[in-house]
Structure formats: C-alpha cells, structure tokens
C-alpha cells in the first residue's frame, strides 16, 4: 500500500531556512514514506497565505503574541513563489526517491479561519468570497503544476465542524477539476455528517480521513460506496494528536480492518492529520511504525 503524510512536520523555516524543508523530506523518506510533503515548515496552514494573496493581512490579536489573518479586500493571487520554491526544493531533496505532493488549505477553512474585515463581502457565506478564494488557490496550484507537481491535497478541517456545503463543494471542485493529476481532499475529525457528500465531489480522487483517533469514522466506509464514487480512501492509522507512539501490531490491526472495508488497492496510508504539534522524534517514530505496518500487510 502507498504511504503518505498529511503535510506538516515539526521543523521551522524561521529557524532553519531551507534546511527545514530538506530535513523534513529526508526524515519522511528515511521513515519509508512514498509520497512526501515539503513539511509545511513556513508557517501554519492559514497565516502562510499572508504574503501570497491580495486582500489579506496578518494582524496582532489584542492581548496576545499571536497574529490572525484578516480579509481586508478582494481576495486574489499575489505571489505564489514561496509555494513553488518550497516544492522545488522538496523535489530536489527527494531526488526521485519519493514523490512530492503539494498541499493547499481549502477555501472554506481559509474563510472561516480568518477575520472578515471588509465590506467587499457580505459575510462568511458570500459566494463571491468562496469564488475568489478558490480562484486564487487554483492559481497557486497551477503554478505548482507548472513546477512539476502531480499530486495535490486540499485541506478542509472545517468541513467536520460545519460549513455551507454547497458553496464549499463548488469551491473545492473548481480547484480539483482545474488540475491534472491526483487530488486528495483531507478532512480530519468526525466526518459522519459529511462523508456521503464528499463521495460526490468531482475531481477528487482520494478522500483522506483519520481513523486512529476517530475510530467511529470506520462505520462510514464501504468498498461499494468508494467504488461507485470512483474514490480511494486515505486511511489515517496513527494518532497525530497523541505523543504515544503506536505499537506496530495495533497499526497492522487497524490497516487490516481498513482493507476489509475498502479493499487493499483502495487504501492510501497516512497519519490522522499533520504532525506539526508533535515532538520531532515522536513524529518520526510514528511514521516509521506506520510504514513498517503498511509494508507487512
């Protein structure tokens, strides 16, 4: 079974520069991962867009050292170069030993993670906001495609907590159908309210969810559903929210259950979510256990 990651890895670009990307890629490959990411080392999945998009700014949170993304005008693509540069460095580091996927935060999650600070949009459910965000994200993805990316992932964690699904689906589909190559849609947490809807997303090949930390998601999966929808299942089998490193036998047991539900060829193996919040040695150990387990079933 093919192994991959969700994206983030516990190394910081602000501390190491490009070496953060190189080390993230090397450690993923040494753990046995087939489809790696650049580690998303620049920043978190929302604030990284501050210099990339027009119409957004990072502003201080009162009484805190943190900053939050504000939408202050019409959203458009400004400068995708950091995404392209990081992808190219990851490809150079991988040097054919693994493929590299490009990871984008989805339009719904970007919208609802930001402070809407403009009268240019009527609210968080304004179709124009979703259209502008998806258009800008597609622009980034197409620049990554020109740079050689053939695997893409759209992260939409807000899907599991509630978003306007018609708008969100249209926005994600406009990105996914505008690309050549494999597109995954990652939604973490409890996906019981949205899984059947996600099966109908055009342009999305891989539905990626967590099953180690959210075992109730297993009840949603069937081989028939996936095959009828033309989807494969991204199967989270190690818990990204826990610092406890799983026993290999436990991971094997979960993968065997996933195979019974979706079929061996219908699974892509990965952690439940990104690894950014974990200690680096724990993140590496979890990937090693995951990859050994995937090779043994």
Q: Report the CATH number that the domain containing residue 49 is assigned in CATH.
A: 3.20.20.210
Tens digits of per-residue pLDDT, 133-171? Answer: 999 999 999 999 999 999 999 999 999 998 999 999 999
- Give the contacts of 115 (CB within 8 A, at least 6 positions apart): 59, 68, 69, 70, 71
CA distance 209 to 218: 10
Q: How many independent structural domains does the chain possess?
A: 1
Tens digits of per-residue pLDDT, 63-113? Answer: 888 999 999 999 999 999 999 999 999 999 999 999 999 999 999 999 999
Q: Check: pTM over 0.95? Answer yes or no.
A: yes
- Write down the pLDDT at residue 266: 87
* Mean pLDDT of all residues in 174-186: 98
- Write down the pLDDT at residue 137: 99
pLDDT score of 204 more than 90: yes
Query: Residue 182 sits in which domain range?
Result: 2-296
Tens digits of per-residue pLDDT, 207-266? Answer: 999 999 999 999 999 999 999 999 999 999 999 999 999 999 999 999 999 999 998 888
Is residue 250 within 8 Å of 212, Cβ to Cβ? no
Is residue 85 within 8 Å of 21, Cβ to Cβ? no
Is residue 277 within 8 Å of 10, Cβ to Cβ? yes
CA distance 40 to 276: 9
Total Cβ atoms within 10 A of residue 169? 21
Q: Which residues are 2's β-sheet partners? A: 268
Between 92-96, 158-162, 175-179, 200-204, the lowest mean confidence (pLDDT) is in 158-162
- Write down the pLDDT at residue 139: 99
pLDDT score of 37 more than 90: yes
- Write down the pLDDT at residue 64: 87
């Amino acid at each position: 079974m093919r192994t991959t990651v969700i994206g983030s890895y516990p190394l910081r670009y602000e501390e190491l520069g490009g070496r953060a990307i190189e080390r993230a890629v090397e450690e993923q490959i040494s753990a046995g991962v087939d489809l790696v990411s650049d580690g998303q080392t620049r920043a978190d999945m929302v604030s990284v867009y501050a210099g990339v998009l027009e119409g957004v700014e990072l502003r201080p949170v009162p009484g805190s050292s943190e900053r939050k993304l504000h939408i202050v005008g019409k959203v458009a693509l400004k400068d995708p170069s950091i995404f392209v540069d990081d992808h190219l460095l990851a490809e150079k580091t991988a040097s054919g030993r693994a493929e590299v996927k490009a990871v984008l935060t989805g339009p719904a999650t970007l919208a609802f993670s930001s402070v809407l600070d403009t009268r240019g949009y009527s609210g968080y459910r304004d179709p124009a906001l979703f259209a502008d965000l998806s258009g800008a994200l597609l622009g980034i993805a197409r620049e990554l495609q020109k740079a050689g990316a053939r695997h893409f992932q759209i992260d939409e964690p807000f899907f599991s907590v509630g978003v306007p699904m018609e708008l969100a689906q249209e926005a994600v589909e406009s990105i996914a159908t505008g690309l050549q190559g494999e597109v995954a849609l990652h939604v973490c947490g409890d996906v019981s309210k949205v899984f059947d809807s996600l099966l109908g997303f055009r342009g999305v090949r891989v539905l990626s969810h967590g099953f180690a930390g959210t075992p109730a998601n297993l009840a949603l999966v069937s081989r028939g559903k996936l095959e009828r929808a033309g989807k494969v299942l991204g199967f989270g089998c190690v818990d990204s929210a826990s610092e406890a490193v799983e026993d290999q036998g436990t991971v094997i047991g979960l993968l065997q259950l996933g195979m019974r539900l979706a079929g061996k060829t219908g699974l892509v193996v990965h952690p439940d979510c990104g690894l950014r919040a974990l200690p680096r040695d724990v993140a590496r150990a979890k990937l090693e256990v995951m990859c050994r387990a995937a090779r043994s079933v």
